[in-house]
Structure 1
Amino acid sequence: MSLNWKEIDLLLSELSLPGCHVQGIHQPDYRTLLLELYRPGEPFLLLVSLAQGRARLHRTTRRPPKPRVIPRFAQFLRSRVRGARVVSAQQLGEERIVRIELERAGESTLLWIRLWGGASNIISTTQEGVILDAFFRRPGRGEISGERFDPETAVAQAARRPRREFVVRDLPGEGDFNSRLAEYYREEEQREERERLRERLSRLYTERESRLRAALDRLTDREREYEGAGNQKLFGDIIMANLHRIRRGDEWLEAENYEADNRPVRIQLDPKISPSANAEHYYDLHKKARSGLGIVREEIAQVRAQIAAVEKEAAELSRTDDISLLRERLRENDRRGGTGGGDREERPGLEFRSGPFRILVGRSAAENDQLLRRYARGNDMWLHTRDYPGAYVFIKIIPGKSIPLDTLLDAGNLAVFYSKARSSGYAELYYTQVKHLRRPREGKRGLVLPTQERNLSVRLDPVRLDRLQLYREQR
């Protein structure tokens, strides 16, 4: 709720602005102005908020955050009224317009603070009413530099309208009306911020849980696929037992299944390879399925644990009133690259998970360059194939954790897979921390020269790649 005119009168009487000096001007956001005022022995901050539904002015003790760039209107006021003395401050009738006259070095400046909800503004004029600048420049209302501002006419017109009765709100708390009003709005703003943070975090946790459940579904499908691969060894054994019946070029073997009462079984063959190579092929499929089954089951256990952790943390945050905890959880999410419901920019490339570590992969020179410039940090690990063009792969470091060999091999497999070495299935890599990369002068986009690099030999592991693809982050 914005202030009514009786509340503004009371606030101004408590503030006793005439005689104060303007020591500083701050504009922490697009709707708030703070004047740093001083009267002998009593410095204080005067807050002016132009927020719709919250238009107000009052004394405050909260120091504003410093913006990276000083906004235009704050720059103007600093040049015009910093060091000025407040000559007078009063409300115009019942119109929620405050006129503050400032004087510096014999030059007068008027500040008109209009607290009209959606039409609120702060307008600076000369004594003659010529607009010097405005917090919100509104050409449609003539509120731009060089135009004239005549609030007295609006006051005269308003005096002819039927009068409404207003009362000063009886706000809880201690101290004068300024103090109680500041505390009231502080609590209101914190309540709204708490709700916004909860809503954002709820959306983020829902998205994270959805990604984890999608990964769990893919892993469960692969588990069933591996469990159904038990026949591969049996097919190899049946082929070996019937080698004398198979000729190179045969596409099928029809034989007896000795594990099923000698019922007939039909096994597909590769006509391009020998009968014994066909048996070896089925043995290889069986080995990969058996190896992959163990890995997939470990991944399933990890994902289920992560889902349980996400559900527990989301439930705890939905109950807490600790706004600092909510802020910290949101910062943690941003640091680990979680989505922000449209607030975050779409990152280039691909993202994979290897245990708790994130692995970023660029698929082109442009993506490599963007990842290197904007998303990689000095201690992150960089990998690249030595003799082939291809992806830049980055392992995002976790403070206090060293990169395990298994994660390094995961990243190495991705570096080979997303390079020209994929067809050969093998490559030599070099890897080093991002801070040890150097850009050559006039080099192509994304080109870097590694220093302090180490070597890694990687042969593509289909089971490892399957696991990485199953647990790839969907963005």
Structure 2
Amino acid sequence: MPPKLRRGATHWDGRRTDGQKEGFEEGFEEGREADDEAEELAQEVARTYPGGLPYPARPPANPEVGSPAVPPTIDDEDRKRLLLELRALVGASLQRLWLPSPRLCVLQLRLPGRSALAVIDARLRFAALVPERPTAPDSAPRSQATLRNALEGTRLSGAALVVPRDRRVASPRLEFGERVLIAEEALLCVETASGKILWASSGASRRPGSAYPGADEIPLGDAQPLTSRDRKVREALAAEEQAGVAARRKELVARLRTRVRKLGRTAAAVEEDAARAARAGEERARAELLLPLASRLARGSREARVPDWSRLDEEGRPMEVVIALDPSLSPAENAARWLRRAKRYRTAAERIATRREQVQAELSRTQALLARAETAQSADELAAVEAELPEAPPRSLRGRAAPRLPYRKFISQAGAPILVGRSARDNDALTFRVARGNDLWLHARGLQGAHVVVPGAGDSPDARTLGDAALLAAHFSAGRGEDRVEVAWTRCKHVRKAKGAPAGTVIVTQEKALRVRLEAERLAALLSTET
């Protein structure tokens, strides 16, 4: 360890090392220079103020709140005056509470003919009436529901300033019948009779279930209300307000980024559809080149070499074109499939173009909102962005999101409902929990795809409903885009699941098969009935 220099030491103990000696000499020299500067400063002060300084030249080592070194915020006298205003509301019903942050609670109190808002803040340890609710993120701490269950519906029965016996600072306490809300370094909800802590916000050193120590109450006196209460409370809550704005901005930016990503994926899918529609002319041209020679080519051919009279070489002969074929179909069937596909794409081209414009416009609008949200600095700016967002999905009466159904619902030409599973897990839920034994069950044979159920089909299923359900089974399968897809159908009671089988995998017995031809217009009409 380096040697310690005694106060007033001016020489070196030769028993130390050379490095320690050098450090001693440097430190001694610096100390002497500092003493010289202090002496010069003292002489200058003596010349300027012959009678001495009117106040201490240096602030105290531990300045008190309210001194020039520490600007005043909320002191105990302010806390008393603020609590006196709250005490005047004794008997008010607590209608609602919010936790904008783990250390701040907003209370909505109801009096005859009017409502009042109050806050209790653990950061500055005060409770007061406020003119408006502080800015907060849309989400809330998970423990907010617990505190609501403990306090909402009770009545304010008292307001006091107390000093816990294991603390040295005063904390506000709001009393609600058999329970109290205390703001120390965190918020606490305590049962009055037993002293048991029922709830504590994050960051609390006291944990729920433990005993709250006794507290000594400080008399509030009869001081007059603060004339600048709103300004003082607003300044005290400025940090919480900024934190609320930052949290709200973070949530809004996250929502908009998610929407931008989703719209980007939609735009990419629409562009793929547009590219397919643009290739419709190519497929029609291939079919027209193949048809004149289709009867001469053998079934199972993998390619065909045909002359293209629209392109001639230098000698006036047609260029030879190599066309790839599906060997499972005859050349004539290959050509017919290309013609049908070209017709379908040509019919959908206008709808795809409209959809592309809509998606691009919405994407540009959302990107602009995201840019505004990222630069927003106030709650008003964030509210302006939120006002331009699409409406949120409807909520149930209890305020929770409506339960997600494991299926999509369509209506057949005959008016019968058709249920289509959304995913592999949803397929299991639809088939084994929603459907009944005699309901019709359909699935694309040999392909991955959705389970399709027709509820209440009866003993003789309607042919149009069965055809619509089969068309949906083909569309929502890996066979989408093919001309023909084979669909198996049976009753739900003949479908079972093997033990340990992956989600969506089933064993089917007594099945029948339908060969479904994909009709674009019929499919579009069917998809438009989704509810």
**The TM-score by the shorter chain falls in which range?**
0.5 to 0.7
1:59 CA drift (Å): 0.7
1:385 and 1:428 in contact (8 A); partners too:
no
Q: Which amino acid is 2:118 matched to?
A: L
1:136 CA drift (Å): 0.6
1:421 and 1:427 in contact (8 A); partners too:
no
Whether 1:200 aligns to 2:270 is no
Residues 122-133 of structure 1 aligned to structure 2 (within 5 Å): 122=188, 124=190, 131-133=195-197
Q: Deviations over 1:266-300 (max 9, x none)?
A: 55667777xxx623531441342243144245314
Q: Which amino acid is 1:10 matched to?
A: D
1:48 CA drift (Å): 1.1
Q: How far apart in 1 are the matches of 2:189 and 2:299?
A: 92
1:348 and 1:362 in contact (8 A); partners too:
yes
1:391 and 1:419 in contact (8 A); partners too:
no
Q: How far apart in 2 are the matches of 1:111 and 1:309?
A: 47
Whether 1:262 aligns to 2:321 is no
Q: Which amino acid is 1:122 matched to?
A: L
Q: Which amino acid is 1:60 matched to?
A: V
Q: Which residue of 2 aligns with 1:136?
A: 200
1:250 CA drift (Å): 6.3
Q: Which residue of 2 aligns with 1:21?
A: 90
Q: How far apart in 2 are the matches of 1:7 and 1:213?
A: 58
Q: How far apart in 1 are the matches of 2:309 and 2:477?
A: 46
Residues 23-38 of structure 1 aligned to structure 2 (within 5 Å): 23-25=92-94, 26-29=96-99, 31=102, 32-33=104-105
Q: Which residue of 1 aligns with 2:36?
A: none
Q: How far apart in 2 are the matches of 1:100 and 1:47?
A: 12
- Compare CA radii of gyration and give the structure with the larger one: 2
Residues 265-276 of structure 1 aligned to structure 2 (within 5 Å): 265-266=321-322
Q: Which amino acid is 2:289 matched to?
A: F
Residue 461 of structure 1, aligned match among 518, 522, 525: 518
| Distance change (3 Å), C-alpha of 1:85 and 1:345 | closer
2:108 and 2:116 in contact (8 A); partners too:
yes
TM-score norm. by structure 2 comes to 0.49
Q: Deviations over 1:211-254 (max 9, x none)?
A: 133214422442454343244234324405xx5x5566766655
Matched residues, percent identical? Answer: 17
- How many residues are aligned here? 370
Q: Which residue of 1 aligns with 2:280?
A: 226
Q: How far apart in 2 are the matches of 1:283 and 1:11?
A: 86
Q: Which residue of 2 aligns with 1:312?
A: 365
Q: Which amino acid is 1:136 matched to?
A: A
Q: Which residue of 2 aligns with 1:121?
A: 187
2:130 and 2:233 in contact (8 A); partners too:
no
TM-score norm. by structure 1 comes to 0.54
Q: How far apart in 1 are the matches of 2:172 and 2:360?
A: 58
Whether 1:299 aligns to 2:341 is no
Q: Which residue of 1 aligns with 2:211?
A: 147
1:48 and 1:58 in contact (8 A); partners too:
yes
Q: Which residue of 2 aligns with 1:97?
A: 170
| Distance change (3 Å), C-alpha of 1:95 and 1:182 | farther
2:431 and 2:453 in contact (8 A); partners too:
no
Q: Which amino acid is 2:473 matched to?
A: A
Greater relative CO, 1 or 2 (CA 8 Å, sep 6+): 1
2:420 and 2:451 in contact (8 A); partners too:
yes
In structure 1, the gaps of 5 or more residues are 153-173, 337-342, 353-358, 375-383, 395-408, 430-439, 446-456, 469-475
| Distance change (3 Å), C-alpha of 1:313 and 1:23 | same
2:196 and 2:210 in contact (8 A); partners too:
yes
Q: How far apart in 1 are the matches of 2:120 and 2:307?
A: 90
Q: Which amino acid is 1:302 matched to?
A: R
In structure 2, the gaps of 5 or more residues are 1-70, 217-225, 374-379, 396-400, 411-417, 444-449, 455-466, 498-513, 526-531
CA RMSD of aligned residues (A): 6.2
SS of the residue corresponding to residue 48 of structure 1 reads strand
Residues 58-457 of structure 1 aligned to structure 2 (within 5 Å): 58-62=128-132, 71-73=145-147, 82=155, 84-86=157-159, 88-89=160-161, 97-98=170-171, 100=173, 112-114=182-184, 116=185, 120-122=186-188, 124=190, 131-136=195-200, 141=205, 143-145=207-209, 147-149=211-213, 176-178=228-230, 181-182=233-234, 185=238, 188=242, 191-192=245-246, 195-239=249-293, 243=295, 246=297, 254=305, 256-259=307-310, 260=312, 261-266=317-322, 278-279=331-332, 281-296=334-349, 298-316=351-369, 318-319=371-372, 321=380, 323-324=382-383, 326-327=385-386, 332-334=391-393, 361-362=420-421, 366-368=425-427, 386=440, 388=442, 391-392=451-452, 413-418=471-476, 425=486
1:203 CA drift (Å): 0.7
Whether 1:47 aligns to 2:104 is no
| Distance change (3 Å), C-alpha of 1:224 and 1:285 | same
1:139 CA drift (Å): 12
SS of the residue corresponding to residue 391 of structure 2 reads helix
SS of the residue corresponding to residue 309 of structure 1 reads helix
